[in-house]
Amino acid sequence: MRSNHFRKALLSAAAALALAFLGGTTIGVADDQFTNPNKKSGGAFPTAEEVGGEVFIETKGEGDQVPMDLPLETLDGEETTLRQVLSSGDKPVVLNFFMAHNEKALEELKALDRLEQENPGLRVVAIHLGSVGGKLTPDTPMASVNRTIRALRQDLGVNRVDTYLDKKSYAVQALGLRNAPATFLVKQDGTIVKNYLSTQNWADDARQKEISQFIASS
């Protein structure tokens, strides 16, 4: 009962976030080097003029580099970057971008948690896009996205996946994301080996083979 109530409350709180992702009211757009995050605060997806005539820029894929200077925040509220996150471990990384309103994405988080447990040579990092708050219970305000995602992890039983926040969704433009969840296999130097632009069945034989090859080649 608690889990169902939690999910319903969280989905209700995140409804505006879902509309924002589609309509562009809270999806932030940063400049190329993320050196001036106040240049465009909030904002929409990049305009056609900004990307040379195409509204959606090409999604980063095999051989591309992830944006190492992408500004992130820990669940404890400390500022960091994707570079620091990747360099803090010695394993190849499954990098997942998700949004709290998407139930399939939440189920995938649980699957990714199991994936890390089953593959000691692998590290999974999840990054939440945007800000979501609201009330998880009728009398308990949870205005902080940090607290909300922390509570969500606990409710899902996710305790291995390192989780960070991209509150202004800078990754949307930096990686050319058209939806979330999206997952990337990334070497420690930031090189993308493969991308998955929808939810995946990580227990599938094909995914398991790809993960094994990824670990062996990194």
The 10 Å CB-count burial string (b at 16+, else e) for 88-121 is eeebbbbbbbbbbbbeebbebbebbbbbbeebee
Average pLDDT for 165-173: 94
Q: What residues pair up with 81 in beta bridges, in sequence order?
A: 71
The per-residue pLDDT for range 181-202, each reduced to its tens digit, is: 999 999 999 999 999 999 999 9
Is the pLDDT at 164 greater than 60? The verdict is: yes
Q: Is the pLDDT of residue 43 over 70?
A: no
pLDDT tier, 39 (very low <50, low <70, confident <90, very high otherwise): very low
- Which domains, and CATH codes, for the chain? 2-217 (3.40.30.10)
The answer, yes or no, to whether residue 136 has pLDDT greater than 90, is no
pLDDT tens readout for residues 63-77: 999 999 999 999 999
Check pLDDT > 70 for residue 32: no
pLDDT in tens, 90-129: 999 999 999 998 999 999 999 999 999 999 999 999 999 9
Q: What is the largest CA-CA distance in the chain?
A: 51
E strands present in 45-197: 71-74, 79-81, 93-98, 123-129, 135-137, 140-141, 162-166, 182-186, 192-196
* pTM as predicted: 0.76
